[in-house]
Amino acid sequence: MEHRILDDGTLICKAARGEEIVSSLTALLEEKNIRAAQVSGIGACEEAEIGFFDPETKAYEKQLLREPLEVLSLSGNASRTEDGKTFLHLHVVLGDRRMAARGGHLFKLAAEPTLEIFVRPLKGVIERAMIPEIGLRLWKLALILAVLAFCAPAARAQLPPPPLEVGCRSQLDALSLELTVSWIQAQDVMTREQARALVKKKLAGSGVPDSYVDRIFADPRTAVIDAVSDRFGRPPAESAPYEQYRKYFLTEANIADGAQFLRDHAPLLLQVNARTGVDGALLAALTGVETRYGTNAGTFPIFSALYTIVRKVAKRSDWAAREEAELLKLCWKQGVDPHSILGSYAGAFGFVQFMPSSFNAYAVDFDGDGRTRLDEWPDALGSAANYLIGHGYDGTAAFDPGSAIGRSIYAYNHSENYVRAMLELRAEILKRRP
């Protein structure tokens, strides 16, 4: 393939009449030892083979086009396979004489009369690995680790940013990665029947009847919530630098509301402290961080939220099935409709955002009215205090992240930023105390 290298290292390439550009480009990249590159181009052709990847069959449906066609857009990237061979991943949009467009994955294309192609080499190496569960060779970035770990919709939330040296400096590479992650997110981890079977397995020996589980799963309110899987596809707030993270909670309004909460619930907080030894201002800060003092306890039906995670968020699927089972245990025991409980996208509920397993282990009927409800302050604050005690809270310890108090907060949410923000919010609330 005829080509020239520009001052910035970009290759400008011109395909000859009848030249098959996929094989020619591959040979050129091998010759130049280019291990990562962006590819783009326009032109015309007389023959092209394009394809559509069917995720069900894990195979391409191919179509051979033999007619004069305009190459409206050629784009893609170059990388290396596990054995070091050049791998071109190209997509193309073709226009015919009727001005109709067709496109897909490009397997081969014969220029007529020519194609004008840019190849922009990138520093470093992009490697690909075959993922049998998908049927494609994908980039061996954090994305590949995500697929291997079955964390599809959680990929962006769970993984560090791709290192710059592997070629994600360009907007095109970043977009390609995002589109690949989005494609993976669209795939189900398991069917409804498989999800129900997994939850039943977690319920073995619990005394919850299979017929009850079947009825809840068969309820038309059981549904996949796209907003839930989407949330798992975002970086968690706790991953932000602390100075950014603290701004979510250390606002003037949240501090003032915390001081007011401390005043409004002073008798109850003193009662909780007397029984448990847990600091009332810390409990106020906990509710301020978790639910803005009970004003934002969540709007997702948590049965369907957990059901969504089981089916769509691979890395958290088993965890979500355990929580779904715990939810069914508590609802069966208390005679509550599982579909009636609202909470966070991750399945936490109540003023202090307990997961179902935490409820079953640590929730208490603090006011002794014969029922345990986390949307009532006595039970919510008493249960939160009981949780902290169960995770090592020591009333004689200092209020700092490394103390027994800090470690008990960390058990609530495994984030050092979370611990620091809660302790800082407590300190600011106390400054407003009369």
pLDDT digit of tens for each residue in the chain (434 aa)? 999 999 888 999 999 999 999 999 999 999 888 989 999 999 999 999 999 998 878 889 999 999 999 999 999 999 998 778 899 999 999 999 999 999 999 999 999 999 999 999 987 778 888 887 788 888 876 444 444 444 444 444 444 444 433 334 344 444 444 444 444 444 567 899 999 999 999 999 999 999 999 999 999 999 999 899 888 877 778 788 999 999 999 999 999 999 999 999 999 999 999 999 999 999 999 999 999 999 999 999 999 999 999 999 888 999 999 999 999 999 999 999 999 999 999 999 999 999 999 999 999 999 999 999 999 999 999 999 999 999 999 999 999 999 999 999 999 999 999 999 999 999 999 999 87
Q: Quickly tell me which residue has 């992009």 as its tokens.
A: 126
CB 26 within 8 Å of CB 79: no
Q: According to the model, what pLDDT value does residue 188 have?
A: 67
Structure tokens at 213: 């589980």
Could you tell me the fold of the domain covering 2-121? 60s Ribosomal Protein L30; Chain: A; (3.30.1330)
381-409 burial, b at 16+ Cβ within 10 Å, e below that, comes to bbbbbbbbbeeebeeeeebebebbbbbbb
Distances (CA, A) of 349 to 241, 320, 341: 27, 14, 7
Q: How far is it, in rounded angstroms, from Cα 300 to Cα 338?
A: 12
Q: According to the model, what pLDDT value does residue 379 have?
A: 98
Q: According to the model, what pLDDT value does residue 141 have?
A: 64
Dihedrals φ, ψ of 266, to 5°? -55, -50
Q: How far is it, in rounded angstroms, from Cα 330 to Cα 390?
A: 20
Residue type, 68: P
Residues 6+ apart with CB under 8 A from 322: 202, 357
CA of residue 327 relative to chain centroid, distance = 22
Distances (CA, A) of 264 to 258, 259, 261, 269, 376: 10, 9, 5, 10, 14
Give the E-state strand segments of 96-140 in sequence order.
101-121, 128-131, 136-139
Q: According to the model, what pLDDT value does residue 181 have?
A: 47
Element (H, E) at 157: helix 155-158
Assigned superfamily of 192-431: Bacterial muramidase (1.10.8.350)
Q: According to the model, what pLDDT value does residue 139 have?
A: 86
Structural domain boundaries in the chain = 2-121, 128-185, 192-431
Q: How far is it, in rounded angstroms, from Cα 148 to Cα 383?
A: 38
End-to-end CA distance of the chain: 80
- DSSP assignment of 247-296 equals GGT--HHHHHHHHHHHHHTHHHHHHHHHHH---HHHHHHHHHHHHTTTT-
DSSP single-letter state for residue 16: P
Q: How far is it, in rounded angstroms, from Cα 307 to Cα 198?
A: 11
